[in-house]
Structures are given as structure tokens and as C-alpha cells.
Amino acid sequence: MKLLTSPPSLAPLYARAALTGRLHRGDTLPDSVYALTDQVIRLDHLAAYQRVCGFRVTDEVPATYLHVLAFPVSVALMLERGFPFPLVGLVHVANAITVIRPVRCGESVSFRVRAADLRTHPAGRQLDVVAEASAAGELVWSSRSTYLRREKPTAPRAGNNTQSAEPLGSISLVPVPENIGRKYAAVSGDRNPIHLHALTARPFGFGRAIAHGMWLEARTLACLEGRLPDAYTVEVTFKAPVLLPSAVRMATERAADGWRLDVRAACSDKPHLAGRVRAGTSA
């Protein structure tokens, strides 16, 4: 286990990723576990995050907030020499978060992060980065972020022109301003250049900057604030990126075991995010 007493700074980690990308090659995941201990939830940082993501300012931590605290540890893990892929080029395609109990401002939280389940995918290979948070020795939160390394397809892709049915529940039209990437970067520390400006996104193949996927997930969950149980699991798949600026339609629909989530472009109906929220913590 690699024990950290303070969160790594993302800026030098991204610089290192740009310089050492070619060193990452392989077919196995490292068995390392990174631990970050005793991180106190600060009111000023929590409130800034809540404002950027559309939550009310309260002492209760949104499900996605602990991902922000765990993310630098995840990046440090993915920059290990034994990690099979360079960080640059990995695509965050899905995320699942389980809230075991509410976490509140002032609590001290510790994290454990590991990589798991390297597997083939029609577009390349996928893996999961698993993070767990505990408070006073009790597991309170966990997440699984799925990343795709695009390579030569290992199998032909099946055509699928079927558009998923549009949810019938509440729909919110949400403007996504040009500066939301910089605002989210200020509170999350995630200053990946694809999110900051059109000029810094273009070398990576984007005509404009794109919104952080985890901001989009958080902003969607904010539509359900006050209607979620103390314990629940949210699972989302990230579809097409949200170009900045733009507007999206966030739909939340009641389901038998919770809620269905659906985010699409306001002007074209292009899907950006699909997911669900289920009460409880069991799979």
C-alpha cells in the first residue's frame, strides 16, 4: 500500500503524464493500492463545489463530491510505471457511485484507490479505477470509474440506429456556459486542457472545449436534490461530449427502483449522458 498524507497536486501530475506517456505499455494492471488519510471536509470548498454544480449550499456532501477528493489519488495511480496505458488518451466512459450513508461537512474521510478488471472492448480495452471512502473506520462511499483506451477494434461494431425512448418525467433546460470547464477546474483541480479553452482543446481533436463528465453527472443529480434516500447508487454512461457553450435537456423519470437519468443536447437531441439511480447499496 502507498500511503499519502496529502492529496497530490494535479498540475504536476498532468505535466508528468504528457512527458512519460510512451513509458506505459503492458497487458496487466498494477496491484498497488493508494491510500489518502484524514481529509477533513471543508465548508468553503464544499460550498464552492455545490454552487458550480447546481446544488444548494448545505453541510451534506453530494455523491459526486468525494470523487473530486479521490481523483488526484486515482491520477497518481494511473501514472505508475506499471500502469498499462498513458493517461493522455484515456476516455472516461462510465461512472458508478454508491452512497452508503450521508457524509457531512467537518467529517474526516480517508480514501483507498486501486485499478481493477482490465478487459477487452470493441474499440480497444477498458479498466476500472475503484475508490472507497471511510469515516471513523466505516465505509461510507465507493465509486467505480470506467476508462477506455481506444485501440484497433478487436471486433466489428454492430450498427445501432435506435434512439432510446425519451423520459416522460421532469425535464430541465440547462445552459452550459463557455467558462464552466474553468469554473469546475477551479474547485476540482482537474485542469485537463480539453475542458479549459477552445485553443487548448483543439490539439486533442475538439473544435471547442468540452464540459467535464463529472460536472455533468453532478449537475444532473442536482435535479434530484431533496428526493434521494440516504443510501443509493447512481450509475451513468457518458455519451457524446458537451461542447462549450451549449444547452442541454436534463430529464429525470421515476422508475420502479429509483430514477432514470437522460441528458441530451437541447438543439439536436444528441445523447450526452444516460443513467439511473437505485435506492440502497446492493448491486
Cell representation of residue 77 = 495511480
pLDDT above 80 for 198: yes
Alpha-carbon distance of 209 to 191, in angstroms, equals 12
- Helical H segments across 79-235, by residue range: 180-188, 198-201, 213-222
Alpha-carbon distance of 93 to 109, in angstroms, equals 26
For residue 142, the domain's CATH number is 3.10.129.10
- Residue 158 inside a domain? The answer is no
- Residue 62 inside a domain? The answer is yes
Which secondary structure element, helix H or strand E, spans residue 124, and what is its range?
strand 124-135
pLDDT digits (tens, 9 = 90+) for 117-163: 999 999 999 999 999 999 999 999 999 999 999 886 544 444 444 45
pLDDT digits (tens, 9 = 90+) for 20-49: 766 667 789 999 999 999 999 999 999 999
- Residue 199 inside a domain? The answer is yes
pTM, two decimals, is 0.93
Residue 166: per-residue pLDDT? 67
What is the span of the domain harbouring residue 34?
A: 2-153+168-279
Alpha-carbon distance of 214 to 21, in angstroms, equals 24
At residue 2 the predicted structure's pLDDT band, cuts being 50, 70 and 90, is very high
- Residue 185 inside a domain? The answer is yes
Closest CA to 58 of 222, 217, 188, 259: 222
Question: How many distinct structural domains can be found in the chain?
Answer: 1
- Residue 162 inside a domain? The answer is no
Asked if 52 and 187 touch (Cβ cutoff 8 Å), the reply is: yes
- Residue 159 inside a domain? The answer is no
Q: What DSSP state is assigned to residue 123?
A: T
pLDDT above 70 for 244: yes
Instruction: Supply the mean pLDDT for the chain.
Output: 91
Q: What is the mean pLDDT of residues 75-98?
A: 93
Sign of CA dihedral 198, 200, 203, 205: negative
- Residue 130 inside a domain? The answer is yes
